[in-house]
Amino acid sequence: MPDASNTPPRLILASSSPYRRELLGRLRVPFDVIVPDIDETPLAGETPEATAVRLSIAKARAAAERFADDARALVIGSDQVATFDGRQIGKPGTHEKAIAQLQAMRGRSVEFHSALCLFDRSTGDVQSADIVTRVRVRRVSDAQIETYLRAETPYDCAGSAKAEGLGIALLEAIESDDPTALIGLPLIALTGMLEKAGYPVLGAA
């Protein structure tokens, strides 16, 4: 690592999401979790991409401010915005809203903007990216929607389906450069950012 002390920087995941924690765990690197406290309301006239990128950076900065240690830290922020019919769609929260989302989306495409930020707390450097995933939903019946929702209760997922679980049965196609982006943390982009920041996941070349 190109750190003066030869001590690797601390990694911090700025997220309350168990899905993002599981994803980052796949890289087998040690990390801490700090839950950021920010207003996630989209700004008036803001594009979905701009919302996702802005919030990913805000989350990383907010978590960095709460990190008490003086050691160098790289803070990972991520945010996802789903769009359908030209408007943003959020987490359903309830069974009824999840039914309505899936009924509206069946046979059609949904676009997910999965934004990522890596904030170097010691230098102030910010790396950010927006990874776009397009998902086409099958023409599932009301009964199939009901069966799925009762089985997986994905009420905390934008679009009401967990592609990493049974929700894959609802989908007809997924188009993305990074299969982990849809779940919530684009690991391909993150690996590149970490290497650029002096933290190669697989060690020095």
Boundaries of every domain in the chain: 10-196
Which one is catalytic: 37, 70, 79, 177? 79
> In which residue are the tokens 């190669």 written?
200
- How many other CB atoms are found less than 10 A from the CB of residue 117? 26
Nearest to 131 by CA among 91, 178, 163: 178
Question: Structure pTM?
Answer: 0.88
| pLDDT of the residue at 5 | 53
Q: Are 120 and 74 in contact (CB under 8 A)?
A: yes
| pLDDT of the residue at 6 | 65
* Phi, psi (degrees; rounded to nearest 5) at 197: -85, 5
Gap between the Cα atoms of 145 and 123, Å rounded: 48
- How many other CB atoms are found less than 10 A from the CB of residue 150? 9
> CATH: 2.60.40.3880, 3.40.50.300, 3.10.290.10, 3.90.950.10. Which one for 10-196?
3.90.950.10
Q: Please report which helix (H) or strand (E) contains residue 136, including its range.
A: strand 126-137
Tell me which residues of the chain have a pLDDT lower than 70.
1-6, 70, 205
| pLDDT of the residue at 198 | 92
| pLDDT of the residue at 2 | 42
70 is catalytic: no
